[in-house]
Each structure stands twice: as structure tokens, then as C-alpha cells.
Chain A
Amino acid sequence: MREISFARAINEAMFSAMKTSKEVITFGLGVPDPKGVFSTTTGLQEKFGSERVFDTPTSENAMTGIGIGASLLGTRPVMVHQRVDFFLLAMDQIINNASKWKIMFGGTSSVPITIRLIVGHGWGQGPTHSQNLHSIFSHIPGLKVVMPSNPYDAKGLLLESIFDDDPTIFLEHRWLHGQVGKVPVEEYRVPVGEAKVIKKGSDITITSLSYMTVESMHAVKELEKLGISCELIDIRTTSPLDIKRIIRSVNKTKRLLAIDSSVKSFSVSSEIVASVSMEISKLKSPPNRLALDDLSSPTSFGLTDKYYPGALEITKTVLKMFGKKTKSLNNFKKIHPHDVPGDWFKGPF
């Protein structure tokens, strides 16, 4: 199978959705501009016209409401924000309207809107350009929250989200856009609400999501060498959360580490630890979570390395859970600075 980038997979999903249904439209600040939202929307306006693919005023709340209104007549809007942080201006529309339209009218109406949000990381993005807010969205009944970790899932999940009849928050980690993987040319779907076992194992269950799955995969390989067999589960959608799949795994391994890309408190990882603890009383070690300190994201190059846990911290955390020493570990020495996902990334955002 041919390999393409995560960004290209998103782009293909958009082409595919817009070709499949004339009801699909996409808009957002910069959607038709020369950069095409990190090249995820490139070529769409040329192909489908400016009625279905358009730039917008900087009016996040109204544009979300407008997307909701259009969706009530069967249009399927895909709204895009270059950063999740900008979308915070639209909380009234997404929480008071989109998530509740179905229930407040007794199921007589639904809101098939998809909101694509990009999560920033590193390169001095700082407090308001690199927030991980999936737990906030997951906390709202009526919203689906999707966060793929690889190109294959990105394409399949975006198509599924667009043709789902409920409002869906689709989160793309900026560091995943350049990631390359196998993706079929044809249209296919990945179901929302199903976690995926990335690697089977017997000693510990590690749940992860979005970019953290990449770091987890490195850690799991290292731990294998050190004699610990990890079962790695990529959550893929935080709402609905496939807690059954996670519990089944922990029932086998009797150990849990929930990894998250957001701050610790009130996070999706907290939810996983709570749900597992309520189901399984005897674990070999206390359930654990690895997430960010409860602090706003730092800007300085001097702070980001310590703030963001990676493969090394995951490895150490697991070793500690097994009562093993963490000295003389592979430090996953990076071939590029810690604040970029790879040499291809030259900023600015």
C-alpha cells in the first residue's frame, strides 16, 4: 500500500467526502489560502468551488452557529480552526446549541457538524496556542470527540465524523501532520467509539491518544527489551470512550497506565483510571496516569522539554510501577531539538 502523510490523509478524506455528497461544505479562516491549513484543505476550493469551500470572517461563535443552522437543513459543514484555542470563542454555540439541539427538541432535529481543531505543540506556542482541551469537550454530553494518532485512522475517522449525524470535535495534533503511514486510496471508515489495540502484551495495559501514542510506541519497544510486555491501546475517540475494551485488557494484564496529552487533573486519563478502578478491585500495582503538570503550557525553549513527557518518561513510569531501577536507560536521544516533531518542521506554527 502507498504511504502518505497525516495531513494528506485529512486532505484526501475531505476530497472524498465532498465528492460523495454535495451536502458537505467546509469553511474556516484560511481554508482556501495558499497554506491550506497545513495543506489539509489544499485544492478543495479549486475542485469544489467557492460556494462549498470558503474563507470566513474572524467570527468563531457566529460561524459555529451558522454551521449548526446549515446542518439543520441537511448540509454537512466541516469547520476548521488553525488552533483549538480560537474555538473557545464558540463555546456558547457548541455547548448550548450543537450538543443539545437533539435532546432539547426531543430527537426531532440533529446537528451533523464536524469541527476540525488543530492542537499546537512546541516552538514557543505557549499558553494560548497549545492547549489540549479534549477533556472539556468529552465532558459535554451530545458531543463526539475524535483524536486520531496516525494517517490511516485520520482519514477513516474524519469520513466517519462527517457522515455521522451528531456534532463531532475532530482534534489533529500539529506534530502528527507530517507523520507518514499506509493509507488506502479508496474511501473507508473507521468507527467512532472504538479503541484500537496497537500492540498486544501481557504485563501492563497502556492507554494513549493522539500524538502521545507515537511516544508510547517508542517506550513500549524499549520496555520489551527490558522484559516488560505492554499492551498498548490507542483510544482514538475520547467520547464515546471505549472503556469496555480497556477494562478487558486490564483484566488480563492487571496493571494500568493511562497516558494523556492534557494536564492531569480532570482529564480523560483520570476518567480511565476511575472507570477501571470501579470495575477491577485487584490490580498488581495502583492504577496510574501520565499527563502534563497542572500548569499552562510554557513558551520558552528552556521549559518545554521538562513540561512535555515523552518516551523516556513513559518508560521510567512503567519501570517504577514494576519496582525496577530507572538508571542507565536509553534516553531516546533526539536527532532534532525537543520542541519540533522532526527536521521538516521549521515553524512558525
Chain B
Amino acid sequence: MNKSRNNSLELFKSMLRIRMVEESIAEKYSEGKMRCPTHLSIGQEAIATGVCSALEKKDLVLSTHRAHAHYLAKGGSLKSMIAEIYGKVTGCSLGMGGSMHLIDKRAGFMGSTAIVGNTIPVAVGLALSIKLKRRKNISCVFFGDGAVEEGVFYEAVNFAVVKKLPILFVCENNLYSVYSGLEVRQPENRKIYKMVRALGIDTHKGDGNDVEEVFSLTKLIREKIVNNAGPQFIELDTYRWREHCGPNYDNDLGYRTEEEFMSWKKRDPIETQRKRIKSNEYFNLAESFAHEIEEAHKFADKSKYPSYKQFRSIQS
């Protein structure tokens, strides 16, 4: 197997695993054991996988409320993530953060938070510290199209440009902020990547449902950053399949059309990649992931809740 085909297979595997993890959460959510707001990444796997696979392990990532895919793609522990969603002490945040507060520092996943845009400056801070320490890694932050409507985005990008910091800003444009479409939030025909360019940062645009494109673009951009070209921004188009928060589909709400949904579903990033690699390993892979995922749920279910004493001691 040649190197590029091997990489293509790895990208496929990463996305398939994320999809299956998310679907297992959706399926089991109604059991009532995962008692926290949960934002699934189904449909958006290619960005997480493409970007994180192009990063080095030592690179640092911060993310949003919809962080499962980023966390897993960066190499975060599956067991710790599922246990966290169950609110158990074996979770990555000892059960004190839930689905929206994932962390795995060994994998370079530095955290995800629940307030729109508020990890963007924190990621710039990581980049500042990286630069002060003369390290060779980079900082990378994921956020959505809604976050570029926050003032802190401009403040953070501005400072990153002034200081030429080693950071990659990844804007996942999935067209919606909860149930509010871009048309009620941003001017018609705006191109986010073009607008952001005016801040003095190099910007790029790509198909966020094409994992190969995301991967190769990120690889190039990362090279630029480590060669001191300053911060970089990339906008990637994608689409969330399920509801904003929770396990279900929500097309019945009427905030988006069935046609729009179907047109994006046809561009399923995993199906696209599966056709490319023509792999006959699909069933073996699916079976082994299913087993791993089932084990993670069992582990989470059996684990204990954190004690109030622990909760108190961390804060005192």
C-alpha cells in the first residue's frame, strides 16, 4: 500500500470512528444516562479529521461546544470522553465538565468550552506562550460561523497578526447558529474568508466535506505557520445533520428545508472518502470500532460519580 493511499485510509478510519461514536451517543441518549447538553458532530467529521491529521501531536487544539469530533480526531481518549458525558469521575474532566468541556492534554487537546467564541483568545494565548518559549508547535482553534460575529474574534485575530503568532484559526461554516441561518445574521453574499483577510491575516477557503482537501490544505498552512508566516485563517463549508443540541433530527422545525438537508447529505464526507479508497475493509473496521465504542459505554456506565468532596477540594 503506498503512502498516500495509506493516508487516505487513515482519514477514512478517523471519520468513520467519529461518526460511529456520535451515533452511539444518539442511540443511547434516551437511556437518560448521558444527562448533559450534547452537540453531535455528525456530518462535520471531515474538518476535524482533515485538520487534526495534518497537525502534529505536539500542536495544541481548543474547541467549542461541538467538540467531540475535534477531541477524537486529535487523539483524545474515547473512554474518558464517554465517561465525561456520563458525568463520571473517570471522565477527562473528572465528570465535572460534561460533553461541552473536554480535555486531553496528552493528546494536545487543551479544552473546549460552551460560550460562543470564547476559546478564540485563549488559543491566541497558547500561541503567545509557544512563541515566548521558542517552541516549534502551533496552536489551532475551531469555531463556527457564529463566532465571527463576536467582537472577541476580531480582537484576538488582530493581536495574533500584530505579534505574528503561530496559530491556525479554523472557521467551520455550517450555515446555522442554533436555528438562525446566516441570512438573518450576516450580510448577503459575504465571504467570511475575504472579510477576515482585511484584518491582515492570510486566509484560505476549502470544501469542509472533502477530507483530502482539508488535510492537504491544512498541511500546507501548517508549514507556513512553522516557517514564521504568521497566523493563518481557513474557512471550511460543512453541514450539521442532527439538531443543534441533542440526538435527533430536527428538519420538522422548519428552519431549514428538506432539499437543503438532502443536498448536503449527498455530500456525506465519509461516503465520499469510502468511494475514493475502494476499501473492502469497511465491515472489519466497523466491527472493531463498534466493539471499542460499546466497551467505552460500559466503562462509563460502571464508573462512579465524582464525590462532592472532590468537587469542593478542586475549588478550594
A residues with CB within 8 A of B: 25, 51-52, 56-57, 59, 61-75, 92-93, 96-97, 101-109, 141-142
Q: Which residues of chain B have C-beta atoms less than 8 A from A109's C-beta?
A: 103, 105, 110-111
Q: Is A52 touching B91 in the complex (CB atoms < 8 A)?
A: no
* Known contacts A105-B93, A108-B105; A51/B151 CB under 8 A: no
- B121 CB contact (under 8 Å) in A52, A64, A103: A64
Smallest Cβ-Cβ distance to A142: which chain B residue: B315
Could you tell me which B residues sit within 8 Å of A by CB distance? 62, 91-97, 101, 103, 105, 110-111, 113, 115, 118-130, 132-133, 139, 151-152, 155-156, 158-159, 162, 306, 311, 314-315
The residue among A65, A92, A101 with the most chain B CB atoms within 10 A of its own CB is A65
Q: How far is the CA of A108 from the CA of B106 in the complex (A)?
A: 11
Residues of A within 8 A of B125 (CB): 65-72
Return the contact of A97 from the options B110, B118, B139, B315 (Cβ within 8 A): B118
Cβ–Cβ contact B93 & A93, under 8 A: no
Would you call A66 and B113 a contact (CB within 8 A)?
Answer: no
Contact B93 A141 (CB under 8 A): no
Among B115, B126, B159, point to the contact of A62 (Cβ < 8 A).
B159
Evaluate contact between A66 and B121: CB separation under 8 angstroms: yes
Chain B residues, Cβ within 8 Å of A57? 155, 158-159, 162
A70 B126 Cβ-Cβ under 8 A: yes
Minimal Cβ-Cβ distance residue in B for A71: B125
Query: Which A residues are CB-close (under 8 A) to B118?
Result: 65, 92-93, 96-97
- The binding surface of chain A is classed by DSSP as helix
Q: Are B122 and A106 in contact (CB under 8 A)?
A: no
Residue of A nearest to B141 (CB): A69
Q: List B contacts of A65 (CB < 8 A).
A: 118-122, 124-125, 152, 156
A62–B130 contact, CB under 8 A? no
Besides A68-B122, A108-B93, A109-B103, 18 other A-B contacts (C-beta < 8 A): A62-B121, A62-B152, A63-B121, A65-B122, A65-B124, A65-B156, A69-B126, A69-B129, A69-B139, A71-B125, A72-B125, A75-B132, A104-B96, A104-B113, A105-B93, A108-B103, A109-B105, A142-B315
Q: With A and B bound together, what is the CA distance between A29 and B62 in angstroms?
A: 27
Q: Give min CB distance, A143 to chain B, whole Å.
A: 11
> With A62-B121, A62-B159, A69-B124 as given contacts, are A106 and B115 in contact (CB-CB < 8 Å)?
no
Offer 15 A-B interface pairs, CB within 8 angstroms, sorted by A.
A25-B132, A61-B121, A63-B155, A63-B159, A65-B120, A66-B128, A66-B156, A70-B126, A70-B128, A75-B128, A96-B115, A102-B314, A105-B93, A106-B93, A106-B306
A52, B132: Cβ atoms under 8 Å?
A: yes
On chain A, the residues within 8 Å of B113 by CB distance are 96-97, 104
A300: shortest Cβ distance to chain B, in Å? 33
Q: Which residues of A lie under 8 Å from residue B128 when comparing CB positions?
A: 66, 69-70, 75
Q: Which residues of A contact B151 (CB under 8 A)?
A: 61
Measured CA separation A25–B163 after assembly (Å) = 15
- Distance in angstroms from A100 CB to nearest chain B CB is 9
Contacts of A103 in B (CB 8 A): 96, 311, 314-315
